[in-house]
Amino acid sequence: MPKTLLGLSGSLRRASLNAGLLRAAAELTPEGTRVQIGSIRDVPLYDGDLEKAQGLPPAVEELQAQLQAADGVLLVTPEYNNGIPGVFKNAIDWMSRGPGLRMWAGKPVALIGASPGGFGTIMAQDHWLPVLRTLKADFWAEGRLMVSRAGDLFDAEGNLTDSASRDRLATFMEGFAKVL
């Protein structure tokens, strides 16, 4: 039976570099593993009053169902002001509510990201570590992938076109798939 990764991009732009990196990861995942691309687009800002009155929003319930069914998670993170994008952290916070926290425990998680800057997403990836530790996720630290100067490596639609970057991504995905 094939293994499934839940892939989430931390950017809402459809042609974002990170959404493109996630699509490329899905294309380059080795045989026997597939990436289900989830969406954080419809996740509202966390509001404890809303949760108390209405329960989990449908978009969060859908993400939790995808998380529950997944053998692992691929977080594709942009870096905003040297840290985690608020919209991405908000979605993960919602996903950990209710039964969600148990779903993260022991789940293999890998981080990748693309940035037009010279340092890739190193700071955002580092900022995810305490979050993943709190979720009790099993962070895969054997590989690290940051795509720097990404504006030159993607086309206008946000597709990764650089063959060297695609090769590095394929190697990363092959390594992560082995731990599932």
Please indicate, yes or no, whether the overall pTM of this predicted structure exceeds 0.95.
yes
Mean pLDDT value of segment 141-168: 95
pLDDT confidence bin for 143, thresholds 50/70/90: confident
Mean pLDDT value of segment 139-146: 93
Whether 122 and 81 have beta carbons less than 8 Å apart is answered as no
Mean pLDDT value of segment 11-20: 93
State residue 78's pLDDT score.
Answer: 96
Res. 1: pLDDT tops 90:
no
Res. 141: pLDDT tops 90:
yes
State residue 58's pLDDT score.
Answer: 98
- In order of 12, 38, 78, 82, 168, the CA distances from 28 in angstroms are 22, 17, 20, 28, 10
Calpha distance 104→60 (Å, rounded) = 14
State residue 66's pLDDT score.
Answer: 98
Calpha distance 58→65 (Å, rounded) = 10
Question: CATH 3.40.50.360: does it fit domain 3-177?
Answer: yes
Percentages helix, strand, coil for the chain (3-state, rounded to 5) are: 45, 20, 40
State residue 176's pLDDT score.
Answer: 98
- Residue 63 in 3-state DSSP? helix
